[in-house]
């Protein structure tokens, strides 16, 4: 019996790294969609996809499992013709560690006012700024699942006060946790640096807006809060964040994701002196880790052990 064909649809210019996926499945036929022109897809059992065109997955008659080539799955769930087969999200220590690093780094950058020091360096200005310390700041992680808890593990040893909010109850030593809509206001009121790691769902669409920013604490050392969005671009309203960043509602921001990517060159966010813009790299996925993960999951599936990290389409994650 044939092991079945694998479809690789990355929408990424992997260059020589594409051979990593080809080599990982050396015992199977691998079709690179970008090179195949949609030919030979009738025997595809497994699809490795990032931003697949709507209707593509439905057109695969023998498809058994879809693997998302990244932590997010909204790019697949948005397909109105998504077939009723398991969708597996990518969970890996490499990705988790990178996200935790990004969050900790940007909390420290804002705490130690590195934007201001960068500007001073460019203007050849030597001026010491008043420096708060980590215990003076409360970091609130909105989306306290695997990634959120990993970020908290990095922040706690640095001395930050850490809060976590999730839809359902989560418990972690050293962290004050909140859950559900009823406790969202209390969480926001106790947060000086808000870290968004929520998955994208209809409920989180545009949640990072002016209303939310106005509910964040204004009792911290800077007199206004900071927002770090390393979650999903459609969870933020960039125009309202821009307004908050220019009128003092927000002290600063680190934005890694946007509603439309890449961020347009004319966006005013590029030029704000209190904003870090990064090109969706908070948790850049290693092709080696991706390939290894999919190989392991397919082996589990074919050995009858069951797939891990299956997405619930109703929840969106």
140 and 175 Cβ atoms separated by less than 8 Å: no
Give backbone dihedrals phi and psi of 54, rounded to 5 degrees, phi first.
-60, 135
Could you identify the residue written with the tokens 């590195």? 114
Residue 210 designated active-site: no
- C-alpha 55/C-alpha 81 separation (Å) is 6
- C-alpha 106/C-alpha 277 separation (Å) is 11
165 and 177 Cβ atoms separated by less than 8 Å: yes
- C-alpha 275/C-alpha 255 separation (Å) is 7
Give backbone dihedrals phi and psi of 277, rounded to 5 degrees, phi first.
-115, 125
- C-alpha 144/C-alpha 146 separation (Å) is 7
- C-alpha 86/C-alpha 153 separation (Å) is 31
Active-site residue identified among 45, 98, 106, 232: 232
Residue 277 — left, alpha, or beta (φ > 0 → left; ψ -120 to 50 → alpha)?
beta
Active-site residue identified among 205, 210, 280, 292: 280
Residue 280 designated active-site: yes
Q: DSSP labels for 233-301?
A: GGGB-HHHHHHHHHHTS-SEEEE---SSSSPPTT-GGGG-TTEEE--S-TTPPPHHHHHHHHHHHHHHH
> Residues of 258-287 as b/e, b for ≥16 C-beta within 10 angstroms?
beeeebeeebebeebebbbeeebebbebeb
234 and 260 Cβ atoms separated by less than 8 Å: no
**Could you tell me which residues come within 8 angstroms of residue 92 by beta carbon, excluding any fewer than 6 positions away?**
285, 286, 289, 290, 293
User: Which residues does the annotation mark as catalytic?
Assistant: 232, 280
């Amino acid at each position: 019996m044939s092991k079945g064909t694998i479809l690789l649809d990355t929408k990424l210019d992997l260059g020589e790294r594409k051979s990593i996926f080809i080599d990982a499945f050396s015992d199977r036929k691998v079709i690179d969609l970008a090179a195949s022109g949609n030919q030979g897809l009738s025997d595809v059992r497994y699809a490795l996809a990032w931003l697949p065109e709507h209707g593509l997955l439905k057109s695969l008659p023998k498809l058994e499992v879809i693997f998302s080539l990244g932590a997010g799955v909204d790019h697949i769930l948005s397909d109105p013709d998504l077939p009723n087969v398991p969708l597996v999200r990518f969970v890996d220590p490499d990705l988790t560690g990178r996200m935790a690093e990004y969050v900790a780094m940007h909390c420290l950058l804002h705490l130690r006012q590195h934007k201001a020091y960068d500007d001073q360096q460019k203007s050849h200005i030597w001026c010491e700024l008043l420096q708060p310390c980590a215990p003076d700041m409360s970091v609130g992680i909105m989306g306290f699942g695997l990634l959120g808890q990993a970020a908290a593990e990095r922040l706690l040893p640095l001395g930050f006060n850490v809060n976590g909010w999730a839809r359902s109850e989560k418990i972690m030593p050293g962290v004050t946790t909140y859950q559900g809509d009823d406790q969202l206001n209390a969480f926001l009121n106790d947060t000086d640096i808000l870290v968004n790691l929520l998955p994208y769902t209809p409920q989180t669409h545009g949640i990072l807006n002016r209303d939310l920013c106005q509910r964040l604490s204004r009792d911290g050392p800077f007199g206004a809060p900071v927002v770090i969005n390393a979650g999903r671009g459609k969870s933020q309203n960039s125009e309202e964040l821009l307004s908050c960043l220019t009128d003092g509602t927000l002290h600063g921001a680190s934005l890694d994701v946007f509603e439309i990517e890449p961020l347009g060159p004319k966006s005013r966010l590029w030029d704000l002196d209190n904003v870090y813009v990064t090109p969706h790299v908070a948790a850049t996925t290693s092709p080696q880790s991706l390939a290894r993960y999919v190989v392991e999951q397919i082996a589990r599936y074919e050995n009858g052990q069951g797939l891990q990290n299956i997405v619930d389409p109703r929840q969106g994650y």
